[in-house]
Structure 1
Amino acid sequence: MSLEMLEQLEAKVQSAVDNLALQKMELEELKLENQRLKDENQQLRNDHQAWQERLRALLGKMDQMEEAV
């Protein structure tokens, strides 16, 4: 194997290693973003549930007022 071919192989291997490292960093960033979005989604679900409960309570009060009248 010539020195030139060995250098080309070394360059390709280094490029592959660099690419894998970059993809690993991107994956970690995406995992963090995914967790943040999951947390945000859960908070929105909790908020939605709270709004539904408040709305039901208000509708119940309105029903009670109508029955009293």
Structure 2
Amino acid sequence: MSLEILDQLEEKIKQAVETIQLLQLEIEEKNESIQQLEQQKSDMQQANDALRHENDQLKHEHANWQERLRSLLGKIDNV
């Protein structure tokens, strides 16, 4: 009887070890996914920053062109 109990205990231990190993693999996969998502987030933040910078430059350029056009129109009005 005790041999049968030991066999059952051994089987449960084997199952527990297999379950732990599977869970460890899942954790590793999740960690890799998290790292990939963090990299994507970082890349998107950099792209967003670059677009904001470009947008600011274009706004500044637009304002300069408007000022130049106003100046030219003012000169035409004076003629």
SS of alignment partner, residue 2 of structure 1: helix
Structure 1 segments (4+ residues) deviating >6 Å: none
Note the aligned Cα RMSD (angstroms): 1.0
What is the deviation of 1:33?
0.6
TM-score where L is the length of structure 1? 0.88
AA of the residue aligned to 2:29: S
Q: Which consecutive residues of structure 1, in runs of 5 or more, have no partner in the other structure?
A: none
Q: Which consecutive residues of structure 2, in runs of 5 or more, have no partner in the other structure?
A: 1-14
**Aligned: 1:61 with 2:54:** no
What is the deviation of 1:38?
0.5
Identity in percent: 31
Q: Deviations over 1:26-48 (max 9, x none)?
A: 11111111110000000000000
What is the deviation of 1:6?
1.1
> Who wins on radius of gyration, i.e. which is larger?
2
- Per the alignment, residue 50 of structure 1 pairs with 64
What is the deviation of 1:13?
0.5
SS of alignment partner, residue 35 of structure 1: helix
- Per the alignment, residue 26 of structure 1 pairs with 40
